[in-house]
Structure formats: structure tokens, C-alpha cells
């Protein structure tokens, strides 16, 4: 017993000395963290050695005692030991805590993926509003181009020319076929902006239709053919359209682009889906600005 | 009881499994049952759409295209509203996919149209420059398997209780009715298409795979 204590003290001293030789300069700085770390290291050495000695001593000298339980497993028995009271209190306490946590304390309203998404969108929209409160022409054009490349280019092509007739050629306002198609079949595409729509068969003479189509597709330059009079009642004498009645035939006005995006379109080429709710007002305006800017090659 | 179990490793393992499994059941089952209810407005696929879905699976579209919009602003800007689990209630099996080589198709019906798909399936790179998607011209000549699609729908109705033939839900009816209905649906699609062979085939009572596939893609909203 005595030799063990002496041995233990010797071991502690040797370990501490070793530590001091290796890392003793920690005491020579002003940094108290280093100092605390060293003190901690010494404490660990002392506690470890003392604990180890205690158990070694117990293994050497302890004798069995107490009452055996009934079962034994291949000759190995078990003493009837009362559980440590501290452990028992924590065990029962955690069962009670479990009921509280399960029924009341569980943080059901803490994190939500959708809540995080909503916050992200709100934050973005606010920032967007602030940044693009009064956008100038160049900003709109740049924004329009980026929207166009994501949302419109898959059908209209990156050059906006409609990929060889698979969609509307946006570098021109309107094609001859489209005008002829609208005159023959009417047009009821844009109900949100022009509720009355355009009746079918305003002109029936193929020659008159051809004349008007050539004139409108040519950008309404030169003298209007006589039969263009059928159009002016709604589209205006200069073809620039009237609010709530008919769209502009000369250029892609903001109003026209927003209307097509909202309603989609079914024309002589095919169907364009509605983009309602997918773009905000500024983005629609930006798209119109961009489309006007790419007129012609 | 516990002393008895302690001496019997097999039954002890069984008891342990039941205890742990019970904890799993109480945690998982209620939320799972709730989340797998169909979202309001979600409807089972029509027979033609199901035939298209089989084409989608057969040609392995799901290897490159996912059908799951995650709740991130960048995704909802591009694809639309994020997906809800109830929207897949009638997907058997679901086609979430695990990799996006191409874009997500969960709501492709909102922003692509029949004529676009027609052009795109024939020659993807002509529509989307730089696209690496292969062309699927065989879909324009192969005939869609409506009989299997009907069997599929009927099984879902009989075995899983998918609400066909109920108020506000798609009609399934007998095989003859369903076949006629599929052909009608196909005619509506073919009207918006330009390929003369496809139009002729549908007019002659045959349904090319591409028509069924387009019906399916248009239904993804």
C-alpha cells in the first residue's frame, strides 16, 4: 500500500515534470489561456493517476460480499445491489421529462422548410422592389434579356427569330400569315385586356386580305389599301391600337407584351402557354423593352 | 416476464424489435398518412396520359429529368410552385428522379405546348441550341399501348381505390369506352400537331407514342 502511494506520487511528479519540460513556456507568456491549459493538464495527470491507483488497490484488496440473486448464468452469478440513488433519480426524472417533451415541449414550430422558402421569397421581393423602383432603359433591357433567355428562348430561340417558324419571330411585329389568319379566323386570345376580341371574316375577298396583310406586315408604311378601313375602327388609323379595344399593330407595346404573357396565345403557328403569375410587372415591362430593342438584325 | 426474456436471446431480440418498431410506427405513420392524401384538385391520369407515362418510363425520360420542384426561390422562378407530396398520390410509381441532366418536368404542362413538344421530340437540338438530349423519332411511328394503359388504370381503380368514374374525376368505364375516349383525346392533341403522318395515323384510329407522351406532358401541371 505504502509503496503504491510513493510510486503514484513519483509517477505524478515525473509526468508533470515531463509536461513542464515539453510545454513549460506556457507559463512565461501573458496569455492566461495557455496558463489555464497547463494547470488543466496537471490536474488531469493528478486525477488520472489517483483514480487508477484507487481501482488497482480495490482489485488487489477487495473481497466479495452481499447477497446473490437467484439466477446464475453458467455459474456466473449476480449480486443484489441497490441501484445508486443519484442514477435512479435521473432515470425517473428523464421519464417525466420525456412525457413533457413529447406532449408539450417538442419544438413543432421551430424550423420549417416552407417557412424558410417564404422568408426567402419575401426578402427577395423586397430587395427587387427597392433595387428596381425606377429602372432606366438599360436596366430594363438587361433584365429583359435575362428573362427572355430563361423563359422565352426555349420556343422563340436565343436570337428571338422563332427557330425557323416554330414560334413567332419577335424581331418583326407581325407576319403576313398571322395577319391573314387573324382576319380569316378572328382572334379571341387576349380576353383580359381586349374583352371583345376580333370577329372572324372582317374581310372575305382574298385580294383584299392579301393587300392588308402585306401592308400590316410591312410595318404600315406607305399608303394604306382601301380595305384597311375595316381595321381602323379598332386598331386606330395609325394602327397603334386602342386601350381595352385592340392591340398595337406597329410595335410590341408594354401593354401588348403583358397581355400575351397573361393570356397565352393560339395562332396560326401554334399555342403559346400563359405565363400568368410567373413574372412580375417590372419583368414584363423589361421583356417588352428588350423585345423592342432587338427589332431587325 | 423480463427474467424469462433475459434467458432467451431469440425472444429477447423479438421483443426488442417490437419495442423499437412501435416507436417508429407512432412517429412515422400518422404524418405519412396525412401527407399522402391527394392534394385538392389532383386527379388520376386518363388512359391516354397513362399510356404516355409508360412511354416516358420506357424511353427512360426519368433518368435525366426529375419531377420534383424543391422549395427554393431559384427553382420556383423557373419551374413554378414547389411540389407537395399529395400531388403524387396517383403516381404509381412516382417519377421523382434523382438527377437533373435535363430540366425538371413536374409542371412542364404550364409552360410548354403540344407543338413545342412535337418539334422537340423530333430534334431537340434544333429547338434548344446545345441540347444533348437525344432525338426520339421512333415515337412518331411506334404505336402507344392503350390496352396496357387501360389495364394499368383499371388495376389502380380496383386494387388501390384510385377514384376513377367518380364525380369530377376522369371517366374510365369499360375497355371500349376507354379506348374511344383515348382516341378522342388523341385527336384533340393531333389537331395541334403538324406532322402529317401522326395526323393520318390518329385519323385512322391509331395512336402514335408521341401523342400519348404529349398528352402526359401536358397533364403535368
Residue A82 domain-assigned? no
Q: What residues 26-85 of chain A have any CB closer than 8 A to a CB of chain B? A: 71, 73
Predicted confidence band of residue A180 (pLDDT cuts 50, 70, 90): confident
A50: left (phi over 0), alpha (psi -120 to 50) or beta: alpha
Predicted confidence band of residue B34 (pLDDT cuts 50, 70, 90): confident
Q: Under 8 Å CB-to-CB from A155, ≥6 apart: which residues? A: A163, A166, A167, A272, B112, B116, B127
What mean pLDDT is reported for chain A?
86
Give how far B174 is from chain A: nearest CA, Å. Answer: 33
Q: What is the pLDDT of residue A185?
A: 85
Residue of chain A whose Cα is closest to the Cα of B111: A273
- What pLDDT digit, counting tens, does each position of A232-260 carry? 888 888 888 888 888 888 888 888 898 89
Shortest CB distance from B119 goes to which of A116, A150, A166? A166
| pLDDT above 50 (res A46) | yes
| pLDDT above 60 (res A206) | yes
Q: Residue B143 forms beta bridges with which residues?
A: B208
The Cβ of residue A113 has, within 10 Å, a number of other Cβ atoms equal to: 11
Q: What is the CATH number of the domain that holds A189?
A: 1.10.760.10
Residue A277 domain-assigned? yes
Q: By residue range, what is the domain housing residue A157?
A: 137-293
Residue A86 domain-assigned? no
B205: left (phi over 0), alpha (psi -120 to 50) or beta: left
Higher pLDDT, A64 or B16: B16
Q: What is the pLDDT of residue A188?
A: 83
Cβ contact, residue pair A117, B82, below 8 Å: yes
- pTM for this entry: 0.73
What totals of helices (H) and strands (E) does chain B contain, helices first? 11, 0
For residue A71, list chain B residues with Cβ-Cβ distance below 8 A: 3, 6-7
Predicted confidence band of residue A95 (pLDDT cuts 50, 70, 90): very high
Predicted confidence band of residue A181 (pLDDT cuts 50, 70, 90): confident
| pLDDT above 70 (res A296) | no
The count of domains in chain A is 2
Residue of chain A whose Cα is closest to the Cα of B128: A154
Per-residue b or e along A79-99, where b marks 16 or more CB atoms closer than 10 Å to that residue's CB: eeeeeeeeeeeeeeeeeeeee
| pLDDT above 50 (res A297) | no
Predicted confidence band of residue B147 (pLDDT cuts 50, 70, 90): very high
Over residues A158-170, the mean pLDDT reads 85
Q: Under 8 Å CB-to-CB from B64, ≥6 apart: which residues? A: B97, B99, B100, B101, B102, B133
Residue A57 domain-assigned? yes
Q: What is the pLDDT of residue A1?
A: 64
Shortest CB distance from B73 goes to which of A124, A151, A270? A124
Give how far A248 is from chain B: nearest CA, Å. Answer: 25
Give how far B221 is from chain A: nearest CA, Å. Answer: 12
Place of cell 374525376: B169
A149 and A57, same domain (yes or no)? no
Residue of chain A whose Cα is closest to the Cα of B82: A114
Residue A70 domain-assigned? no
A163 and A34, same domain (yes or no)? no
Residue A151 domain-assigned? yes
Give how far B43 is from chain A: nearest CA, Å. Answer: 21
Over residues A37-63, the mean pLDDT reads 90
What mean pLDDT is reported for chain B?
91
For B136, the 3-state DSSP assignment is coil
Over residues B33-51, the mean pLDDT reads 90
Predicted confidence band of residue B199 (pLDDT cuts 50, 70, 90): very high
Shortest CB distance from B80 goes to which of A120, A270, A278? A278
For residue A273, list chain B residues with Cβ-Cβ distance below 8 A: 110-113
Residue A81 domain-assigned? no
Q: Does A108 reach chain B within 8 Å, measured CB to CB? A: no
Over residues A100-111, the mean pLDDT reads 84
CATH, range B47-219: 1.10.760.10
For residue A275, list chain B residues with Cβ-Cβ distance below 8 A: 111
Give how far A54 is from chain B: nearest CA, Å. Answer: 33
Over residues A210-224, the mean pLDDT reads 82
Residue A111 domain-assigned? no
Domain boundaries, chain B: 2-35, 47-219
Q: What is the pLDDT of residue A208?
A: 84
Q: Does A276 reach chain B within 8 Å, measured CB to CB? A: no
Interface test with A, best of B9, B31, B103, B115 (most A CBs within 10 A): B115
For residue B82, list chain A residues with Cβ-Cβ distance below 8 A: 114, 117
Amino acid at each position: 500500500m505504502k509503496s503504491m502511494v510513493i510510486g503514484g506520487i513519483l509517477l505524478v511528479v515525473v509526468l508533470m515534470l515531463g509536461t513542464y519540460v515539453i510545454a513549460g513556456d506556457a507559463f512565461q507568456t501573458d496569455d492566461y489561456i495557455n496558463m489555464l491549459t497547463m494547470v488543466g493538464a496537471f490536474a488531469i495527470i493528478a486525477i488520472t493517476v489517483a483514480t487508477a491507483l484507487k481501482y488497482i488497490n480495490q482489485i488487489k484488496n477487495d473481497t466479495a460480499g452481499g447477497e446473490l440473486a437467484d439466477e446464475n448464468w453458467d455459474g456466473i452469478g449476480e449480486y443484489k445491489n441497490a441501484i445508486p440513488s443519484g442514477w435512479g433519480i435521473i432515470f425517473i426524472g428523464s421519464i417525466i421529462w420525456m412525457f413533457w417533451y413529447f406532449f408539450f415541449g417538442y419544438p413543432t414550430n421551430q424550423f420549417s422548410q416552407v417557412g424558410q422558402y417564404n422568408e426567402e421569397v419575401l426578402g427577395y421581393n423586397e430587395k427587387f422592389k427597392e433595387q428596381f423602383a425606377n429602372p432606366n432603359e438599360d436596366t430594363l433591357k438587361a433584365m429583359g434579356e435575362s428573362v427572355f433567355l430563361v423563359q422565352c428562348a426555349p420556343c422563340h430561340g436565343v436570337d428571338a427569330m422563332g427557330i425557323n417558324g416554330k414560334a413567332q419571330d419577335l424581331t418583326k411585329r407581325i407576319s403576313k400569315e398571322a395577319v391573314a389568319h387573324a382576319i380569316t379566323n378572328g382572334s379571341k386570345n387576349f380576353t383580359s385586356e381586349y374583352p371583345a376580341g376580333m370577329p372572324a371574316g372582317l374581310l372575305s375577298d382574298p385580294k383584299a386580305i392579301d393587300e392588308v396583310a402585306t401592308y400590316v406586315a410591312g410595318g404600315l408604311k406607305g399608303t394604306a389599301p382601301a380595305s384597311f378601313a375595316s381595321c381602323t375602327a379598332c386598331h386606330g388609323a395609325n394602327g397603334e391600337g386602342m386601350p381595352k379595344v385592340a392591340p398595337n399593330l406597329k410595335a410590341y407595346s408594354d401593354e401588348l407584351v403583358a397581355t400575351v404573357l397573361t393570356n397565352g396565345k393560339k395562332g396560326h403557328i401554334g399555342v403559346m402557354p400563359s405565363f400568368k403569375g410567373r413574372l412580375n410587372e417590372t419583368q414584363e415591362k423589361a421583356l417588352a423593352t428588350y423585345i423592342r430593342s432587338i427589332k431587325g438584325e | 416476464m423480463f427474467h424469462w426474456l433475459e434467458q432467451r436471446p431469440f425472444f429477447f431480440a423479438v421483443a426488442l424489435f417490437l419495442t423499437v418498431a412501435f416507436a417508429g410506427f407512432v412517429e412515422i405513420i400518422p404524418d405519412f398518412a396525412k401527407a399522402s392524401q391527394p392534394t385538392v384538385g389532383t386527379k388520376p391520369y386518363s388512359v391516354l396520359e397513362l399510356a404516355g407515362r409508360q412511354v416516358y418510363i420506357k424511353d427512360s425520360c426519368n433518368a435525366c429529368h426529375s419531377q420534383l420542384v424543391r422549395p427554393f426561390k431559384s427553382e420556383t422562378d423557373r419551374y413554378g410552385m414547389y411540389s407537395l407530396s399529395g400531388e403524387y398520390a396517383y403516381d404509381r410509381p412516382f417519377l421523382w428522379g434523382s438527377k437533373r441532366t435535363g430540366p425538371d418536368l413536374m409542371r412542364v404542362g404550364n409552360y410548354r405546348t403540344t407543338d413545342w413538344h412535337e418539334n422537340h421530340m423530333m430534334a431537340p437540338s434544333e429547338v434548344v441550341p446545345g441540347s444533348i438530349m437525344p432525338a426520339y423519332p421512333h415515337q412518331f411511328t411506334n404505336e402507344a399501348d392503350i390496352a396496357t394503359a387501360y389495364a394499368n388504370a383499371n388495376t389502380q381503380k380496383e386494387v388501390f381505390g384510385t377514384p376513377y368514374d367518380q364525380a369530377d374525376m376522369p371517366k374510365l368505364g369499360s375497355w371500349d369506352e376507354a379506348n374511344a375516349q383515348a382516341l378522342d383525346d388523341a385527336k384533340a392533341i393531333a389537331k395541334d400537331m403538324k406532322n402529317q403522318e401522326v395526323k393520318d395515323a390518329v385519323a385512322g384510329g391509331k395512336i402514335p407514342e408521341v401523342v400519348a407522351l404529349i398528352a402526359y406532358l401536358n397533364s403535368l401541371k
